[in-house]
Structure 1
Amino acid sequence: MNKNFKNLLVLSSILLFASPLSAQIEDKRGLVAKGAELTKVKDGFSFTEGPAINRLGDVYFTDQPNDKIYVWNSNSNQVTLFKESAGRSNGLYFQLDGKLIAAADLNNELWEIDPKSGKETVLVPSFRGKKLNGPNDIWVRPKGGLYFTDPLYPRPYWEGIRGKEMEQDGQHVYYLSADRSELFRVTEDLKQPNGIIGTPDGKFLYVADIGDKKTWKYEIMEDGYLTNKTLFCEMGSDGMTIDDRGNVYLTGKGVTVFDKNGEQIAHIPVPENWTANVTFGALDRKTLFITAMGSVYTLKMKARGVW
């Protein structure tokens, strides 16, 4: 064995040992299953986003630059293509009737997709006669109706003025009523709202203002409006989810978990430059499914997701 090859082996061993895949998970409250390790399910994508779980525990997610939606089968652990020409969808969320809601920002719209046929229906084409900035993430209320964030991230596939300036007067959060008859803003004072998730009882909504590095908690009123805005934590987020203990999971550099009082209780390192989004998958809702750059990952949990 020559000296250079021996040194290469030593260097490879060091790099392998230092890999973020083996980085220690911080878990103060026993959220992660004993002995569980972060597992890469599949790579080769451009940028994964928007994981959403259906009734069977399968997770749909997007590869936005490639304009596709994929599905991870929780039983086989296989990933298959669900839909091409997906409107450059970003965030996804399933309604109780099984329809998939997609933040389709190719034309700055909100879509409803039939999971059997893949056929889409435009739910929100505009607001007050102008294009939205680019619907990003979605949360559906237990009683119906949905919230979505509308930040501005200029896309290379937008042409002309759309790629430089937003038509709306700011970056806001919107509410679409269950009967689709009303669409209105519920926040107008955030810098760049992105991640969004609500509690399973439908009483509270969390909105991550990634532009201000803060996450806010609101009380949800019966008519969909929000009240009692309070600071939840000093961290923004790209995507969000919540577990049955009331803990909130934020993304960015890995996954950071806060309890219902806003105290950080866990951190899950992910070996990518950016962790975009997260949800709980599988029929028992005990598999954390993570979208991060060109890959998707899973982690077995003790905590259970809600849907």
Structure 2
Amino acid sequence: MNKNFKNALAFSILLLTSVTLFAQIEDKKGITAKGAEVVKVKDGFSFTEGPAINRQGDVFFTDQPNDKIYKWNANSNEIVLFREGAGRSNGLYFQLDGKMIAAADLNNELWEIDQYSGEETVLVTSFRGKKLNGPNDVWVRPKGGIYFTDPLYPRAYWEGIRSKEMEQDGKHVYFLSADRTELFRVAEDLTQPNGLVGTPDGKTLYVADIGAKKTWKYDVQEDGYLTNKTLFCEMGSDGMTIDERGNVYLTGNGVTVFDKKGEQIAHIPVPEKWTANVCFGALDRKTLFITASGAVYTVKMKTRGVW
């Protein structure tokens, strides 16, 4: 074996090893199923976002640049178009009554969508007489009431509709009461609030400040206000979810998982430039459904998601 061939072979082995290592799931606590792999379900989208699970385990998600909402059938693994003209919806979340809440930022609104008819009801159009900046992500607490983030991501489709300047006096987190009579701010000191998710008991809310590269933890009060702001981890996120053990899943460079103490316990690499959001799907809530740029993926899990 000549020297040049030997060097080339060594380089090829090193490259192959690097690729393999990049593709491996890092799991310190056994949260993924044995032999779990990241599986592409479908590609061909522009930018997928906002996965949300219904009672049947199906996952609805958005392709925001194309103004569409799709539905992934947990039983057949098929994806079908649910609705066109979706208000440029971004984040989605299901209420207990089966209706879907959508952060519809075409006109900076918050929508409620019937998952069977596809008809929408506009819940929020403004705050203190001005439009919102552009609702991004939502979480519905078990007792009712909706938390949503309102950062600013200027959209190309805002041309001719409105200014790309910030409408509100900052980028905040809001709460809409269950009876829809009260809308108020609950966090006003964040740089760029984005993903958020709460615990199944409704007592704790996690909010990612992607601009500051931090995720915060709050106590949720009965009236909807947030108290006891505490640093959860030194990482921001686009979207978020949580499992039955209290582990929090953040996105961006694949999916990074932190335990309830804020310590990193897993990383799931995704072969896309950006991983936007994540939720648990299927009837047993043991399939991690990932929206990442132009495609969506699944990973079989040992832990179960909460709904």
Deviations 1:227-255 (A, max 9, x none): 00000000000000000000000000000
Deviations 1:140-191 (A, max 9, x none): 0000001000000000011359443111000000000000000000000000
Q: 1:180-259 alignment to 2 at 5 Å?
A: 180-259=180-259
- Matched residue type, 1:297: Y
Which residue of 2 is the match for residue 75 of structure 1? 75
Which residue of 2 is the match for residue 133 of structure 1? 133
CA shift for structure 1 position 213? 0.2
* Contact 2:155–2:164 (8 Å) recurs in 1: no
* Contact 1:20–1:271 (8 Å) recurs in 2: no
- The whole-number CA distance in structure 2 between the counterparts of 1:22 and 1:300 is 18
How high is the sequence identity, in percent, across the aligned residues? 82
CA shift for structure 1 position 22? 6.7
- The whole-number CA distance in structure 1 between the counterparts of 2:191 and 2:49 is 21
Which residue of 1 is the match for residue 107 of structure 2? 107
- The whole-number CA distance in structure 1 between the counterparts of 2:160 and 2:146 is 31
* Contact 1:21–1:38 (8 Å) recurs in 2: no
- The whole-number CA distance in structure 2 between the counterparts of 1:12 and 1:289 is 33
Q: 1:292-307 alignment to 2 at 5 Å?
A: 292-307=292-307
Secondary structure in structure 1 of the residue aligned to 2:157: coil
* Contact 1:156–1:163 (8 Å) recurs in 2: no
CA shift for structure 1 position 17? 7.0
Secondary structure in structure 2 of the residue aligned to 1:65: helix
Deviations 1:226-285 (A, max 9, x none): 000000000000000000000000000000000000000000000000000000000000
Runs of 4+ aligned structure 1 residues displaced above 6 Å come to 11-17
Summarize the Cα distance change of 1:14–1:45 in structure 2 as closer, same or farther, 3 Å threshold.
farther
- The whole-number CA distance in structure 2 between the counterparts of 1:77 and 1:21 is 28
Q: Could you tell me the TM-score, scaled by structure 1's length? A: 0.94
- Matched residue type, 1:301: M
Secondary structure in structure 2 of the residue aligned to 1:232: strand
- Matched residue type, 1:268: I
Structure 2: stretches of 5+ with no match in the other structure: 1-10
* Contact 2:244–2:306 (8 Å) recurs in 1: yes
Which residue of 1 is the match for residue 30 of structure 2? 30
* Contact 1:195–1:240 (8 Å) recurs in 2: yes
CA shift for structure 1 position 200? 0.2
CA shift for structure 1 position 21? 9.7
- The whole-number CA distance in structure 2 between the counterparts of 1:24 and 1:274 is 17
Secondary structure in structure 1 of the residue aligned to 2:306: coil
- Matched residue type, 1:56: Q
* Contact 1:219–1:227 (8 Å) recurs in 2: yes
* Contact 1:42–1:295 (8 Å) recurs in 2: yes
- The whole-number CA distance in structure 2 between the counterparts of 1:101 and 1:287 is 22
* Contact 1:21–1:269 (8 Å) recurs in 2: no
Summarize the Cα distance change of 1:203–1:100 in structure 2 as closer, same or farther, 3 Å threshold.
same
- The whole-number CA distance in structure 1 between the counterparts of 2:20 and 2:237 is 20
